[in-house]
Amino acid sequence: MIELMPASGVFSLIWVLIALPLLGAGVLLLGGRRTNSWGPYLGVLTVVGSAVLAVFMLLAMMGQPANERSIGQTVFSWVFAGNLEVDMAFQLDQLSMVFVLLITIVGSLIHIYSIGYMSHDADKRKFFGYLNLFVAAMLLLVLANNYLLLYVGWEGVGLASYLLIGFWQIKPTAAAAAKKAFIINRVGDVGLSLAIMVMFATFGSVSFSDVFGQASAASEGTLTAIGLLLLLAACGKSAQFPLQAWLLDAMEGPTPVSALIHAATMVTAGVYLIVRSNAIFDRAVWAAAAVVLVGLITIFMGAIIGSAKDDIKKSLAGSTMSQIGYMIFAAGLGPIGYVFAIFHLLTHGVFKAGLFLGAGSVMHGMKDNVNMRRYGALRGLMIITFVTFMAGYLAIMGIPPFAGFWSKDEIIHAAFERSWVIGAAAILGAGITGFYMTRMVVMTFFGKARWEDDVHPHESPAVMTIPLVILAIGSTFLGMALLFWGNIETWLEPVVGFASGPTPLSSIALIAITLVVVLIGAFIGWRQYGAKPVPIEAPRGNWLTRAARRDLYGDDVNEVVIVKPSFALARWLNWFDSSWIDGVVGGVAAFVGGAAGRLRRTQSGFARSYALSMLGGAVLIAAALVLVRLS
Amino acid sequence: MNPANYVILSAILFSLGAIGVLVRRNAIIVFMSVELMLNAANLAFVAFARTNGNLDGQVVAFFVMVVAAAEVVVGLAIIVTIFRSRRSASIDEPNLLKY
Amino acid sequence: MTPWLTILALVPLVGSVIVALLPGSRPTLAKQFTLAVSLITLALTILMALQFNGASTEPFQFVESYSWIPAFGISYSVGVDGIGLVLIALAATLVPIVVIAGWRDVDANSGGSVKGYFALILALETLMIWVFAATDLFMFYVFFEAMLIPVYFMIGRYGGPQRSYAAVKFLMYSLLGGLFMLASMIGLYVVSAQVTGQGTFDYLSLVGLEMDPTAERLLFLGFFFAFAIKAPLWPFHTWLPDAASAAKPGTAVLLIGVLDKVGTFGMIRYCLPIFPAASEFYAPVVIGMALVGIFYGAYVALNQNDMKRLFAYSSMSHFGFIALGIFVFTTIAQSGSMVYMVAHGLSTAALFLTAGFLMQRANGSSLISDFGGVNKAAPVLAGFFMFAALSSLALPGLVSFVGEFMVLLGTFQRYLIVGGVATLGIVITAAYVLRLYQKSMTGPLAPKLVGMPDLSGREILALMPIVVLTLVLGLFPAPILNVINPAVDRVMTTIGATDPTPTVSSDGSGQ
């Protein structure tokens, strides 16, 4: 177990990382319309400020020896009662550091991009306020030093996601999608809550250092339970099977949101949670196996859905599901996979953000039409978007030397070290990636123009394309940079451990096989959509296509299994409440009322009948007295 | 003296009063019957006070007389008012004060 | 020594009398005066709270005691522990907020006079302070029942169309509960006379009284019944939806936000310490009722079309959590319940007040189906509504989360299954709260609402303190926990309960 170093120097400002965007959110959300003109710039500034601070922290951290890179900072005692003692405390170590950099830097780029993208929106200050809130919550999530505080960040990003998906809530679909995302995430939160409770009941603490330090003393059953509950939480936040249904609908939000929250950062929080809890998963074999299984299922679900959608954002969302499936999958492999899960997370964060922003740039030029069947031949009209999108395209397919190649290849490698079956499955997934990404690129940038007459495609302004260029550069070089210059394995090793084992195939052969499969997938994609014209009306397609268009019946299953029965139960209980529980109450009242109504008839108004009843009463009492006396 | 005689007389007077209240319709007569019952009670009180040799019964008898007098004042006033408005002293006619 | 609590209770009482005597032709003066009195009370409460010694070993502080009916051992005794202090502070905070929010709630067309409504609010404040401060059982009972009077008039005179039905139902339910409590209280007096030879109603003398188990259980039931109606727990809840939907928003805030807390307060203050064995005996029943209530309330709320009824059912669900936390006998859960009581007071206030502002703009309708797209017309109102909704669903970072999570954690510690099942409640809570928000605030603006004004400065002023308190106490709950924890520890010691210990340190296996 690594001792946390007291925060000194630049590290004493860890709380500022969170406070800056939080301040921005506060000013923007409370300031109202006054902030309309300068608000967006303030929003950008706070995040850039955090990014600069994070870079300084990285430099300071690199100057420390490897075992002194975990820094802790306790601000105050937060929740305490009995033997519960949870601090408002932060932990900045190598793992948090890379997340902080990803969040703040990609966050900054997306903030800048949004200035252009949201320039015509009347509520843009609100938009930037929510984005700032998101960044603050996400930073809290990765900087917390205990699970309860992590939960605050966890739910905070969920809230920001809810608010931003429903940003255009005048559209009923957006409002419904936001609600759906929040409620499905809440199911995951039950997992996280229960995991925290089991931890507390077992270890008497919820801080990372206590839980991980004592993990070896707990029984495997307990650890498996914690692991499975954490997996449930991760499934909710990272849109993994069986809680995947919300992510596709979440594309109702503005595109920068999809890029930042639903591609680069928030949805990867599940991966962070699992990797952070490596001490638990290392000792819970079955939980780890479940993680691998969930990851694998989602790789294919996401890829299949991504292959069938005509909506460019939904297709990318399917791809995100699938890629996060890879990360979860890698995280389930144990110490040989953790590092690569994070590695893929970082490269994916950059290239997928690039792809989403590219899609946003296309939409910006196409009057917000998202239907790829209405695109085509845009490569000449949006040159910067096209080139940067291609960088992301090559990166996600894993073509060397682009970023995705290094990270995905390592995951496939690690999978083979475990078993050739899951390794082969991972390669197959990569092949489908080749198919749907080629399909997307071909439908969007190649072929014949299919847009309507009143659409005039044009390149986006510089404030949007500059972030695209930066992300494209990242998509190209980040993999190499992290692997060769950043030594990501050794960097993360103190936190997550690292191991490598024998491989059944040599690395070169594996790389070759993967590339061939990916290229076959890409070729099929080109043959289907590039070699022949794309119909504007989608053909009916085979059963798999139809199922994929309906998100593989995810919504239908939820509807039948959960939503309908819940509302039926609610209606029944409502009836039960008014007719039975309140009915009993009303019945008693009616009985008393009725009896009283009958009794009062004796008040006839005839004085002599009253006198008779008085006499009768007096006689009765006298008789009773006499009888008692006699007996 | 034999207290039983006084008590029997009191019981007879009380019964007469009670029957009067129950069977007569004229409010004045009913009223007089009530007075008869009160005085029957007074008689019993005084008789028992005498037998037991203390004054409690006599004190109560005085109380009853005072209360009876007060009652007469109020009661007669009511009867007179009702008679003025209805031209009748029947006790069965004013039966509006009911459920 | 300053008689803080008596002063605190008398200030609004005197204020109430003065407001009632003000000329009816000057309603604004009555409002201003009420506001001033309630603010003075709040200031006094804060002054008193600052002198409260969290580390003291005395069971009660600011104690005063004067003989009242010596023949029966009845005295006027007041004093607060952390729990009482926090609830008095809650009451003192909510009253000015309700006054500001309800500034235009009553007018000449209401059933009663304007000044009457505000005089009743102040009278209610007095009674609330006394009921939380009483350390004499008889005095507690008197104020417990007396509180019904102002509320009865506030609902029955100033409420909506169903007001007299609701007011009578509320009164009857509460009186029935109070009757059982009265019987139990007299029983307790008799028992104390038998055991100690000197009958008493003094709280501290009654704690730890040795009684016959059967008698203890019967007496417990009498008290518990009254508190279960007041709280209200399932299945004694049906007065609440009617009362809440007939009452003015401000009345509903005081009714559910503070008055109903007397029920849960009574459970932890009276039921547990005076009848420890009976509490333990009946704990499974109470936990069952609480658990049913959590889900029952949430599910019924899912199907409500009337906002105020929805809030009432959601409160019932929340009261399930509070009662659960009290009756699982762990420090964390009981502290959590106390925090939850404060949190629920604040979130209920936010919900009812924003809903009230909304209703004013829609001709008094509280039907969800009459709304839609409010966010477009009144973004500030929608923002506050969102905040209230989030506070109600216990979003982490808000004070309701601290309470709810502590309750669940403490429950889980003792009863794994119960804790696990109760945790599922958070999903349904989210479902009904967000359904409400979605249906009323999002989508296209309902035609009837076109041109509806956004919140005015006064309305924002009323809501702002709630928002600030919810946020600050959520991130920094220490001010509440510091005073509550010693009181809860004392309850735990009195009933002889101990917390479960972490499993790893003992046998190294899971639960």
The residue ranking higher by pLDDT, C508 or C186, is C186
What's the count of helices (H) and strands (E) in chain A, helices before strands?
A: 26, 3
Residue A142 one-letter amino acid? V
* pLDDT above 80 for C271: yes
**DSSP secondary structure code for residue A562 in this structure:** I
Q: What is the pLDDT averaged over residues C204-210?
A: 87
Question: Which letter, b or e, does each residue of A413-443 get, where b requires 16 or more Cβ atoms within 10 Å of its Cβ?
Answer: bbbbbbeeebbebbbebbbbbbbbbbbbbbb
* pLDDT above 50 for C509: no
* pLDDT above 90 for A260: no
Token output for C111: 């059933």
Is there a contact between C396 and A32 if contact means CB atoms under 8 Å apart? Answer: no
Question: Mean of the per-residue pLDDT values for chain C?
Answer: 90
Question: Which ipTM value was assigned to this complex?
Answer: 0.92
Which DSSP helix (H) or strand (E) runs through A74? strand A71-81
Residues in a beta bridge with A92: A71
In this complex, which of C373, C435, C442 lies closest to A166 when CB atoms are compared?
A: C442
Is there a contact between B92 and A606 if contact means CB atoms under 8 Å apart? Answer: yes
A97, A14 Cβ separation under 8 angstroms: no
The percentage of chain A sitting over the pLDDT mark of 70, rounded to a whole number, equals 98
Q: What is the pLDDT averaged over residues A420-432?
A: 90
Residue A369 is predicted with a pLDDT of: 83
Going by pLDDT thresholds of 50, 70 and 90, the confidence category of residue A533 is confident
Give the mutation candidate from C434, C436, C456, C460 for the A interface (greatest A CB count, under 10 A): C434
For residues A45 and A198, give the distance between their C-alpha atoms in angstroms, rounded to a whole number: 41
For residues B71 and A579, give the distance between their C-alpha atoms in angstroms, rounded to a whole number: 54
Look at residue A84 and give its three-state secondary structure.
Answer: strand
DSSP for B68-95, written as a single string: HHHHHHHHHHHHHHHHHHHS--BSSS--
Q: Is A282 left (phi over 0), alpha (psi -120 to 50) or beta?
A: alpha
Residue B96 is predicted with a pLDDT of: 79
Mark which residues 602-631 of A lie under 8 Å from B by CB: 603-608, 611-612, 615
For residues C353 and C359, give the distance between their C-alpha atoms in angstroms, rounded to a whole number: 10
User: Using a CB-CB distance cutoff of 8 angstroms, which residues of chain A are in contact with residue C501?
Assistant: 83, 204
For residues C79 and C139, give the distance between their C-alpha atoms in angstroms, rounded to a whole number: 12
Which DSSP helix (H) or strand (E) runs through A89? strand A84-92
Query: Count of alpha carbons within 13 Å of A523, Cβ hemisphere only?
Result: 6
Residue C506 is predicted with a pLDDT of: 43
Is there a contact between C376 and A187 if contact means CB atoms under 8 Å apart? Answer: no
Per-residue pLDDT tens for B86-98? 888 888 887 777 7
CB proximity list for A407: less than 8 A, separation 6 or greater: A340, A343, A344, A346, A347, A348, A479
* pLDDT above 90 for C320: yes
Q: What is the pLDDT averaged over residues A546-570?
A: 85
Is there a contact between C430 and A190 if contact means CB atoms under 8 Å apart? Answer: no
Q: What is the pLDDT averaged over residues C475-486?
A: 92
Token output for C232: 């209200």
Closest approach of chain A CAs to the CA of C234, in angstroms? 10
Question: Which letter, b or e, does each residue of A544-566 get, where b requires 16 or more Cβ atoms within 10 Å of its Cβ?
Answer: ebebbbebbebbeebeeeeeeeb
Written in H, E and C, the secondary structure of C380-422 is HHHHHHHHHHHHHCCCECEHHHHHHHHHHHHHHHHCHHHHHHH
Give the mutation candidate from A76, A83, A212 for the C interface (greatest C CB count, under 10 A): A83
Q: Which partners does chain B have (≥3 C-beta pairs < 8 Å)? A: A
- In terms of Cβ atoms closer than 10 Å to its own Cβ (0-12, 13-18, 19+), residue A630 is exposed
Sign of CA dihedral A60, A136, A1, A290: negative
Token output for C471: 């946020």
Residue A457 is predicted with a pLDDT of: 84
Residue A2 is predicted with a pLDDT of: 61
Sign of CA dihedral A533, A534, A540, A541: positive
User: Using a CB-CB distance cutoff of 8 angstroms, which residues of chain C are in contact with residue A77?
Assistant: 478
Q: What is the pLDDT averaged over residues A604-609?
A: 85
Q: What is the pLDDT averaged over residues A488-505?
A: 74
Closest approach of chain A CAs to the CA of B23, in angstroms? 8
Going by pLDDT thresholds of 50, 70 and 90, the confidence category of residue C507 is very low
* pLDDT above 70 for A505: no
Is there a contact between A573 and C303 if contact means CB atoms under 8 Å apart? Answer: yes
Residue C220 one-letter amino acid? F
The residue ranking higher by pLDDT, A497 or C380, is C380
For residues A375 and B88, give the distance between their C-alpha atoms in angstroms, rounded to a whole number: 105
User: Using a CB-CB distance cutoff of 8 angstroms, which residues of chain A are in contact with residue B21?
Assistant: 608, 611
Look at residue C361 and give its three-state secondary structure.
Answer: coil
Query: Count of alpha carbons within 13 Å of C341, Cβ hemisphere only?
Result: 35
B22, A608 Cβ separation under 8 angstroms: yes
Going by pLDDT thresholds of 50, 70 and 90, the confidence category of residue A631 is low
Look at residue C75 and give its three-state secondary structure.
Answer: strand
Q: What is the pLDDT averaged over residues A14-18?
A: 90
Nearest CA in chain C to A151: C396
Going by pLDDT thresholds of 50, 70 and 90, the confidence category of residue C111 is low
Residue C510 is predicted with a pLDDT of: 39
Per-residue pLDDT tens for A177-228? 999 999 999 999 999 999 999 999 999 889 998 888 888 888 888 999 999 9
For residues A504 and B42, give the distance between their C-alpha atoms in angstroms, rounded to a whole number: 123
Residue A553 is predicted with a pLDDT of: 84
Residue C508 is predicted with a pLDDT of: 42
Residue C179: count other Cβ atoms within 10 Å of its Cβ.
14
C61, C4 Cβ separation under 8 angstroms: no
* pLDDT above 50 for A630: yes
What values do phi and psi take at B90, rounded to 5?
Answer: -70, 140
Find the range with the poorest average confidence among A60-64, A572-576, B78-82, C138-142.
A60-64
* pLDDT above 60 for C380: yes
* pLDDT above 50 for B18: yes
Q: What is the pLDDT averaged over residues C466-480?
A: 93
**DSSP secondary structure code for residue C134 in this structure:** B
Look at residue A71 and give its three-state secondary structure.
Answer: strand
Q: What is the pLDDT averaged over residues C465-491?
A: 92
Per-residue pLDDT tens for A136-171? 999 999 999 999 999 999 999 999 999 999 888 888
Closest approach of chain B CAs to the CA of A631, in angstroms? 23
Look at residue A317 and give its three-state secondary structure.
Answer: helix
Token output for C130: 């006394």
A251, A311 Cβ separation under 8 angstroms: yes
User: Using a CB-CB distance cutoff of 8 angstroms, which residues of chain A are in contact with residue C397?
Assistant: 152, 155-156
- Parallel, antiparallel, or unpaired: how do β-strands A71-81 and A5-6 relate? parallel
Q: Which partners does chain C have (≥3 C-beta pairs < 8 Å)? A: A
Going by pLDDT thresholds of 50, 70 and 90, the confidence category of residue A502 is low
Q: What is the pLDDT averaged over residues A105-131?
A: 88
Look at residue C328 and give its three-state secondary structure.
Answer: coil
Q: What is the pLDDT averaged over residues A335-361?
A: 89
Per-residue pLDDT tens for A69-81? 888 888 889 999 9
Question: Mean of the per-residue pLDDT values for chain A?
Answer: 88
For residues C459 and C101, give the distance between their C-alpha atoms in angstroms, rounded to a whole number: 6
Per-residue pLDDT tens for A282-340? 888 899 999 999 999 999 999 999 988 888 899 999 999 999 999 999 999 888 888 88
* pLDDT above 60 for C30: yes
Residue C511 is predicted with a pLDDT of: 38
Is there a contact between B22 and A607 if contact means CB atoms under 8 Å apart? Answer: no
Residue written as tokens 């102040």?
A: C122
Is there a contact between C443 and A189 if contact means CB atoms under 8 Å apart? Answer: no
Is there a contact between B18 and A615 if contact means CB atoms under 8 Å apart? Answer: yes
In this complex, which of A604, A611, A612 lies closest to B98 when CB atoms are compared?
A: A604
The percentage of chain A sitting over the pLDDT mark of 90, rounded to a whole number, equals 36
Residue A500: count other Cβ atoms within 10 Å of its Cβ.
13
